């Protein structure tokens, strides 16, 4: 008698469970949000693949990949880029490191969505006219307006800024000149007609400008020319701002730059947004930046450097109060 009663209770509980749990499981299974579960649930199996096309610097590729993987949820897997793999997964985002990697990927997979990293604004400009491809970038170079304002923070009495440009590129800086005029800075562009005229043109530029504003133009600023540019600048008792972090280590006085942590964080956010919406943002500069000084150069030129944190906060205030961060 006891066992019959117990069996009856078990059967009733089983019926209740079937009436309640089965419909509930069906709702969860069919729900669009639940269907995306592998991205959000505690599962190690990836639901989205992002390809990474590395640069020629293998060590950097490995470090960057590890840091980006740490910043992404487990549901997103970083895979090594190959042409065949990208063709089989045409909607998967491809991240490129460097201009050479970007060029290869665009030629091999002209319709794949691409996020370009470690490229300057000028290097990326040619790809923005491609209509069939969804492509964006986080610019490597700091915006020139910010760089010029950094020079003004270091030399508060400065009113004139010199800039070197190749023949035919002068018009690119017209908007920058208009923006700097609002801050009391007169920008003048000096044209370098050929490599042989670099030093003489630089001397004329330094006779005008309170400081030289470096640009990310590899034809003017490179390993072969930077020594001559810096020596000429020192002889005129002038300073070079930028063009980027590496040149400060070589002898420029200062530059702003995006820390690797910022690039990783911004990249992870773009990936997550693309996974969520299938959309990429417009090409832009990283959201945050830092300031780097060459204190040895400052001592050699007897230039008192302002507090780094104060300069950083001042530049951020200036950017937040303006409508943009300038153009190259």
Tens-digit pLDDT profile for residues 181-204: 999 999 999 999 999 999 999 999
The packing angle between helices 308-321 and 144-154, to 10°, is 130
Residue 111: what are its φ and ψ, rounded to 5°? -110, 0
Instruction: Name the residue with tokens 């303006």.
Output: 322
How large is the C-alpha radius of gyration of the chain? 27
With a cut of 50, say whether residue 177 has pLDDT above it. yes
pTM over the 0.95 mark:
no
Bridge partners, residue 139, by sequence: 119
Q: In this predicted structure, what is the pLDDT of residue 31?
A: 31
With a cut of 60, say whether residue 17 has pLDDT above it. no
- Between 43 and 118, name the one with better pLDDT: 118
Q: In this predicted structure, what is the pLDDT of residue 129?
A: 76
With a cut of 90, say whether residue 226 has pLDDT above it. yes
Average pLDDT, the chain: 86
d(CA 81, CA 213): 37
Residue 253: what are its φ and ψ, rounded to 5°? -75, -40
Contact 119, 146 (CB under 8 A): no
With a cut of 50, say whether residue 277 has pLDDT above it. yes
- Between 324 and 170, name the one with better pLDDT: 170
Q: What is the percent of the chain with per-residue pLDDT over 90, rounded to a whole number?
A: 77
Instruction: Name the residue with tokens 């008698």.
Output: 1
Cα 171 versus chain centre, distance:
25
Lowest-pLDDT choice from 29-43, 123-137, 293-307:
29-43
With a cut of 50, say whether residue 229 has pLDDT above it. yes
Q: What band does 110 get if pLDDT is binned at 50, 70 and 90?
A: confident
DSSP helix/strand/coil, 200: helix
Task: Go through 133-145 and write b for each residue having 16 or more CB atoms within 10 A of its CB, e for each that does not.
Answer: ebbbbbbbbbbbb
Lowest-pLDDT choice from 24-28, 241-245, 308-312:
24-28
Lowest-pLDDT choice from 6-15, 106-115, 117-126, 277-286:
6-15
Straight-line distance from the first to the last Cα atom of the chain, in angstroms, rounded to the nearest whole number: 90
Q: What band does 128 get if pLDDT is binned at 50, 70 and 90?
A: confident
Q: In this predicted structure, what is the pLDDT of residue 132?
A: 61
Contact 214, 243 (CB under 8 A): yes
pLDDT, average across residues 149-170: 96
Rounded alpha-carbon distances, angstroms, from residue 243 to 30, 37, 151:
54, 46, 12
Contact 240, 211 (CB under 8 A): yes
Instruction: Give 232's DSSP letter.
Output: H
With a cut of 80, say whether residue 39 has pLDDT above it. no
Domains with residue ranges and CATH for the chain: 48-140+261-277 (3.40.50.360), 144-253+294-321 (3.40.50.2300)
């Amino acid at each position: 008698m006891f066992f019959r009663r117990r069996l009856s209770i078990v059967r009733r509980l089983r019926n209740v469970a079937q009436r309640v749990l089965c419909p509930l499981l069906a709702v969860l299974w069919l729900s669009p949000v639940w269907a995306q579960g592998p991205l959000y649930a505690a599962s190690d199996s990836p639901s989205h693949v992002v390809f990474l096309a590395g640069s020629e610097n293998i060590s950097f590729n490995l470090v960057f990949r590890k840091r980006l993987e740490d910043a992404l949820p487990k549901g997103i897997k970083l895979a090594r880029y190959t042409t065949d793999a990208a063709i089989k997964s045409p909607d998967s985002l491809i991240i490129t490191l460097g201009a050479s990697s970007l060029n290869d990927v665009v030629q091999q997979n002209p319709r794949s969505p691409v996020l370009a990293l470690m490229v300057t604004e000028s290097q990326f400009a040619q790809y923005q006219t491609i209509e069939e491809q969804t492509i964006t970038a986080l610019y490597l170079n700091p915006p020139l307006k910010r760089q010029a304002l950094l020079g003004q923070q270091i030399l508060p009495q400065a009113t004139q800024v010199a800039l070197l440009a190749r023949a035919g590129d002068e018009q690119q800086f017209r908007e920058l000149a208009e923006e700097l005029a609002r801050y009391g800075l007169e920008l003048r562009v000096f044209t370098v007609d050929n490599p042989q005229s670099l030093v003489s043109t630089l001397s004329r530029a330094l006779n005008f400008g309170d400081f030289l504003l470096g640009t990310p133009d590899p034809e003017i600023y490179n390993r072969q020319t930077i020594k001559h540019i810096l020596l000429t600048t020192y002889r005129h008792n002038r300073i070079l701002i930028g063009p980027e972090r590496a040149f400060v280590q070589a002898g420029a006085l200062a530059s702003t730059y995006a820390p690797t942590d910022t690039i990783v964080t911004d990249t992870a956010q773009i990936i997550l947004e693309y996974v969520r919406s299938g959309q990429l943002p417009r090409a832009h500069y990283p959201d945050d930046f830092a300031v780097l000084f060459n204190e040895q150069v400052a001592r050699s030129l007897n230039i008192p450097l302002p507090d780094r944190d104060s300069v950083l906060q001042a530049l951020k205030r200036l950017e937040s109060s303006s409508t943009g961060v300038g153009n190259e």
